Amino acid sequence: MYLNGRRYTWSNERHLATLEKIDHVFITNEWDQAFLTCFLSALGTAILDHCPLMLDMNVEIKMHKRFRFEAFWTKAAGFMETVQTAWDSTPPTSNDYLMLHCKLRATTKALQKWSDRWIGNVKLQITIALEVITRLDIAMEARVLSDEERELRKCLKHKLLGLCSLERSIARQRLRLLQLREGDGNTRLFHQQESHRQQKNVMRSVRYNGQIYSGQDEVASAVDAYYGRAFGWCEARQHTLNLEGLNLPQRDLS
């Protein structure tokens, strides 16, 4: 299991300490699927030179559905039109950072709706295609299939190849195990690694201005305050350029 918050679990307690990660928690795939909300952390060493490991079996972490840009979207029909419409739908504001944020947010919502409508759930489509093909195979053993049924069976098999390839591409993108070959893209290892990465992608606490913030609401407020201070605010300009008076050459950027 992934250890949250600590890199090492043992030290030799010397002035120039030697640090090692000796203590681990090993689990099986079946156990990992049964307890998806578990959380492993390390306590203080106290009187020992090892860090005791604490396994919390039920951690309530509200995980919002994250936006994932799928690589195959750029090859699908209607992608560019959806992005262009969503990008132009945001009204301009005086704050450039806020305007960029609004444009990206509108684009993500539009792409999610477009994907749900025109692409849908790939796993569900694969399951439906397999079920229909199975029923047609059983019917073929008892009678002669009609022309429409044979055409449907042939079409489903072609669609199934594309859907399996699409599911493998999605798994590879979310997994980032680039050293594995394309043929291993839909194995059980891929799905286990995908769930493992989701458990690691959690911030339990952050440090800001010398103070530690814990809990989802406090962490979110500290992150907003940090980036708000880093980006700053847009001040009103006292002077500007009259670009039209410079008679600069114009280009059609469409």
Structure tokens at 203: 């911030």
Check whether 54 has a pLDDT greater than 80. yes
Instruction: Please give the pLDDT value at position 179.
Output: 45
pTM of the entire predicted model: 0.41
- The dihedral through the CA atoms of 146, 152, 156, 159 has a sign that is positive
Q: What angle do CA 24, 29, 31 make, to 5 degrees?
A: 75
Write down the domain spans for the chain.
10-56, 66-120, 125-191
Residue of 102, 72, 65 lying closest to 173 (CA atoms) = 72
CA distances from 236 to 96, 241, 243 (A): 12, 14, 19
Render pLDDT for 113-163 as a digit per residue (tens, 0 to 9): 888 887 778 888 888 999 999 999 999 888 898 999 999 999 999 988 888
Residues 227, 233: contact at Cβ < 8 Å? no
Render pLDDT for 6-33 as a digit per residue (tens, 0 to 9): 888 888 888 888 989 888 999 887 887 7
Looking at every residue in the chain, the average pLDDT score rounds to: 81
Check whether 188 has a pLDDT greater than 70. no
Average pLDDT over residues 39-61: 82
